[in-house]
Amino acid sequence: MDPVEAHVARVLAAIRPIEPGQLGLEEAQGAVLAAAAVATCALPSFDNSSMDGYAVHASDIAAATSEAPVTLPVTDQIPAGDTRTVSVAPGTCVRIMTGALFPAGADAVVPVEWTDGGAGQARFSQPVAKGYSIRRAGDDVAEGAMLLPEGTRLGPAQLALLAATGHGSVLARGAPRVAVIATGNELSEPGSPLVPGRIWESNTYMLAAAVRQAGGVATRHRAGDDPQTVLGLLEKLSAETDLLITSGGVSMGGEHDVVKAALSGSPAADMSFGKVAMQPGMPQGYGVVGRAETPILTLPGNPVSAFVSFCLFVRPALDALQGMAPRPLPSRRAELAGRVTSPPGRRSFLRGVLAPDGTTVTPLSGQGSHQLGALAQANALIVVPEPVTAMEAGESADVISLP
Amino acid sequence: MDPVEAHVARVLAAIRPIEPGQLGLEEAQGAVLAAAAVATCALPSFDNSSMDGYAVHASDIAAATSEAPVTLPVTDQIPAGDTRTVSVAPGTCVRIMTGALFPAGADAVVPVEWTDGGAGQARFSQPVAKGYSIRRAGDDVAEGAMLLPEGTRLGPAQLALLAATGHGSVLARGAPRVAVIATGNELSEPGSPLVPGRIWESNTYMLAAAVRQAGGVATRHRAGDDPQTVLGLLEKLSAETDLLITSGGVSMGGEHDVVKAALSGSPAADMSFGKVAMQPGMPQGYGVVGRAETPILTLPGNPVSAFVSFCLFVRPALDALQGMAPRPLPSRRAELAGRVTSPPGRRSFLRGVLAPDGTTVTPLSGQGSHQLGALAQANALIVVPEPVTAMEAGESADVISLP
């Protein structure tokens, strides 16, 4: 059996980053820059006022006090967006709004709160320092400066910086397109009636949601137990997506393991199936399929196994598709509030509830790899190392927080 | 000036949860259950095998050893999805796959790895405990059990549990629909040429991305500085959305503050404009607009002010729209790696970089409320309390992690 880390490393080695594209800002959320973004002009691009107030010559009101205020005629007003070239003559002032182009001649802005707010003339009862409330061109970002390095993931603030510096689009790796495929004749659609022997299909809903939560774009697909049909579906999807994820059909059932049967020995695929020393999720496979050599991860069919496999293997693969080093899920040490057990030689990932303060973790009952009830209550996975077969309440364990 | 918490409380008091709807599972990601979900049948709904192997009468192989194996004829095979009623006669066995309907008569499954894997007959070289590798109906969830309480936010595992128990849809509050509106004649579209006095519009990109990151659905809109046009746009959008967010036009510029001008005194709106004791983000407004009395938050126009306001006021409002108690952003104490300053009487939220281990936070340079460069580098906000005007390197501060 492969150690978990060895399987992660082999999966990542099979992944090539997707081709970057020129993405509009709105579609670039979550995308990763494929080249550094540079400021083609300064930000702000012109001197402007940081307050609503009056642009003045500071020397004109140097002697102003509340007892002896100075009154100046207001010769113009400059709202934000006004592109005129306005000048302030000595002994006059100009009304100016936040963000408006700072006028020639003036050397400070007096906030309206310090004045009487007059329209035809304004009364100033205190002096102002030269340069006050002026944002100078380039005081945020200098022209030519690097805004964001290659490899930056674009969130709200990064998109704002790109927009504010005039970028209508960026060269970036967008959300990976992922096809999620469940296999098995036993699968019925939730909401439809069920007969004994059949189950409602849940893995595509779970895995597609997990893909979206991790920043990918997911489509859901289902196939029965015919290997040729499954292979045909996988080849078709491989031409349209950046990653394929199957669930089920990779265990010890021989010809009944349809994913193994479809991909093993096919000239359309290059696969490796094996066992990973973990619980749940032992049977795993990875490789490439189709002419585009699209990477594929074949996860086990038990839903908890598929979920844990997603956290350990698919999430890093999604990061790698965007050219990023994998971001591990947050983990910490916490005190076990109950006993846990684990098979020897396998690393267990047990479902638990991490307390809000993060200090203790309570193992849930129902740790079977088919038991979704506990998984749906869990906010954390308790990690039991390979050589350990039991840990007692009070011991400290590694705990992975679920997203 | 209102304290931050008072403004949050007043904003939340103006929010009514959106009407729940019957949502299909795929559209329900991130939705919040408006009623508890109950299991209408047991999960699993029938006894089934947890392994690929053979269904046997355990007593038939009680004496089996590797020296004296027991051989049984294989009378049938049951793949997953097979809905036939199969029986296992004493002295025989039936091949069975993981998840397949457990046959009548048998009382255990012997994993294929313990056998020779034979097709016509199978050799058993060790006994098996009664009940081994059988998943009993209901051992995950009993019929009638509560699956998930009202108020549960639906992620991958919760959706899987709902699907596995046959729910095709659920009564839930979906993603809030949010319209983001930037105002100002100064705004130009990123990617287009710029003249002095104009700026590239960034707030709608930033706020729409922030809405999506927080689980909402966002649309972007822009209006100039005509109050009637702005009011008309807000009324129109109020009929189509669950929340309106404006940026800009709420400061001290009198008639130039178009959002204030549009909404103040209009019979189509019921608004409260004021100042919050914070930096950046002092001018704030909230209320309802349009016949549907859609809640609206009017954020300041400086981009960093709008960003911080989103974190403090809009995120809780989005939770409240889904009927949830607001989830605060994660915060912790960390040691300052540099000096920070703050105006007296206002709580500052300064941009910083929290170290990966979370113990220290480095304030960024460029803390102006217009300075996006620092915001785009930040992963945290450093909180300086209202009475404090400076904190020195080495002091411990509250730090909010950005999403």
CA nearest to B331 within chain A:
A357
Name residues 48-67 of chain A within 8 A of B (Cβ). 50-52
Give per-residue pLDDT as tens, B233-244.
999 999 999 999
Supply the pTM of this predicted model. 0.94
The CATH architecture annotation of domain B4-18+176-321 reads 3-Layer(aba) Sandwich (3.40)
> B177-203: per-residue pLDDT in tens?
999 999 999 999 999 999 999 999 999
The continuous run of DSSP H or E covering B71 comes out as strand B70-78
- Phi, psi at residue A183, to the nearest 5°? -120, 150
Nearest Cβ partner of A197 from B46, B195, B207?
A: B46
Q: Sketch the domain layout of chain B as residue ranges.
A: 4-18+176-321, 21-43+139-173, 48-135, 331-401
Q: Is the pLDDT of residue B205 over 80?
A: yes
pLDDT value at position A253?
63
User: Which tens digit of pLDDT belongs to each residue from A329-345?
Assistant: 999 999 999 999 999 99
- Ranges of chain A whose pLDDT falls below 70: 252-254
Q: Is A81 on the interface with B (CB under 8 A)?
A: yes
**Token pair 């409602």 in the structure block, residue:** A200
Which stretches does DSSP call E strand in B27-176? Answer: 32-33, 37-38, 48-49, 53-56, 70-78, 93-96, 108-111, 121-124, 134-135, 146-148, 169-173
Could you report the predicted ipTM of this complex, rounded to two decimals? 0.94
**Residue B255 — pLDDT band, cuts 50, 70, 90?**
confident
Mean pLDDT over residues B96-115, rounded? 96
The domain defined by A331-401 carries CATH number 2.70.70.10: no
pLDDT of B254 > 70? The answer is no
Q: Kindly list the residues from chain A whose CB atom is less than 8 angstroms away from the CB atom of residue B44.
A: 199, 370
If you average pLDDT over every residue of chain B, what do you get? 96
As a whole number of angstroms, the distance between CA B38 and CA B18 comes to 23
Please answer whether residues A79 and B197 qualify as being in contact, where contact means their C-beta atoms are separated by less than 8 angstroms.
no
The CATH number of the domain covering residues in B48-135: 2.170.190.11
How confident is the model at residue A255, as a pLDDT?
72
Q: What is the DSSP letter of B103?
A: P
Q: Is the pLDDT confidence value at B379 over 90?
A: yes
* CATH class of domain segment(s) B21-43+139-173: alpha beta
Task: Please report the pLDDT score of residue B260 as a whole number.
Answer: 94
168-197 in chain A: CB under 8 A from chain B: 168-169, 184-187, 189-192, 194-197
The residue of chain B nearest to residue A380, with distances taken between CA atoms, is B157
